[in-house]
Amino acid sequence: MKQVQITVPYEKTEAVLDFIVDTLGVSNVTKLSTDNAHLLHFRSTDDQVSETIEKLKSRGVGVEYGYIDILDLSASLPREVEEVQDTRIQRDATLAVEEIYENVKKQSSLSFDFIAFSILAAAMAGFGLIQNNITVIVASMLLSPLIGPMLGVALGYVVRDKALFFKGTRNELISLGLSFAVGIVMALALPILYPGPPGDFVLGVQNNFNNIPIILTEITRRAGFSPIDIGVAIFSGAAVAVSVTKGDMSSLVGVAISAALMPPAVNAALMMMLGAIYVNISLIEIGIGSLLLLGMNIILIDLAAIVMFRIKKLTPLADRSATWTAVTQFTKTRSESLYHTPRPERAEATFTPAPTTEVGAEEVESVDPEVEKPKKKKKKRPDDKES
């Protein structure tokens, strides 16, 4: 359940209220008066709020004038009688596009936590790859923040927000750059991390890569992509788009595991660096294959998310036009009595300036010419005799 709060100027209240009641069919509207605007409150179900907001924006509310605020309601008393559900399958987004935008924008923002999770996830992915430990690799998938910037890229394209699109692209490249750096550092530190001789590790990876039908390790299974990997990327991108539009952010955990992005990134840098150090072509081929797998995942996930956003009918954000006016810019007219009670007329106050005194002068003059000037008193001298 959502609560929609609309702040409109006095001059627009009647038109907006009639539209909400007559056209939208909302019956639980509450109107509050403030000094410079009216507040209209009403409740709306989650599956109807998006359509309601779009219709309000089409009439200029929140675009040409006023504000629209959407608030979450955990519970509402008394409980309303449940209406008969429509048999038609609703494919519109559960959340309004503005709510989805704010959630994705928060996830794709660059912060200390974003950088820290990128480094920590890359380090855990490297440890899992070297130890061939799937549990540690899955933990790195859960820590990876790469899915946030990818959502920013897809949603920014759909709602035509260049700032969000470039912000998601930039932060995604930053996270990938950090993961590549961690992979290079772990390749250089392999003599310390690997319990045996590094040459044995390199030889084992090479032999396993050249004999793929025998066994696949966590490193060699990321040496390229197959039709199965393509299908996983496509369905993962569609799933992450659906989870965002319905407000279920917990579903991103499953998507993060299925569309693994951090392990291929670390594996690419790790293998290509080891191949360069030990002059091993097989390791370089594994690194190139992992890089191709990473690129394929990113492209297909973004494309699938864009298609699903389109299916969910996400529209471009309504920017404030050149004529947008805040409620504080509307002036109250005393002749209008339909929207508010006019204040009674008051007599204008008159101001009479106080007399001014010039320094060093012996006379006090009044500023107002109608005020009679005070008469000068003649001082008596000691040598004057009384008459």
> Which residue matches tokens 């061939």?
132
What string of DSSP letters covers 104-138?
HHHHT---HHHHHHHHHHHHHHHHHHHHT-HHHHH
Distance (Å, rounded) from C-alpha 358 to C-alpha 266?
86
Burial class (CB in 10 A: 0-12, 13-18, 19+), 63: middle
User: Of residues 233 and 89, which shows the higher confidence score?
Assistant: 233
Q: Select from 135, 129, 306 the least CA-distant residue to 223.
A: 129
Helix, strand, coil share (%) of the chain residues, nearest 5 = 55, 5, 40
Can you give the pLDDT at residue 146?
86
The residues spanned by each domain of the chain are 2-77, 99-311
pTM greater than the 0.85 cutoff: no
Give the model's confidence band at 307: pLDDT under 50 very low, under 70 low, under 90 confident, else very high.
very high
For the chain, give the percent of residues with pLDDT over 90: 16
Q: Select from 184, 191, 204, 226 the least CA-distant residue to 282.
A: 204
**pLDDT at 171 > cutoff 80:** yes
Q: Give the class (CATH, top level) of 2-77.
A: alpha beta
Distance (Å, rounded) from C-alpha 321 to C-alpha 377?
72
Q: What is the mean pLDDT of residues 49-75?
A: 84
**pLDDT at 269 > cutoff 90:** yes
Highest average pLDDT, of 81-90, 253-262, 288-297, comes from 288-297
Encoded tokens for 147:
């899915």
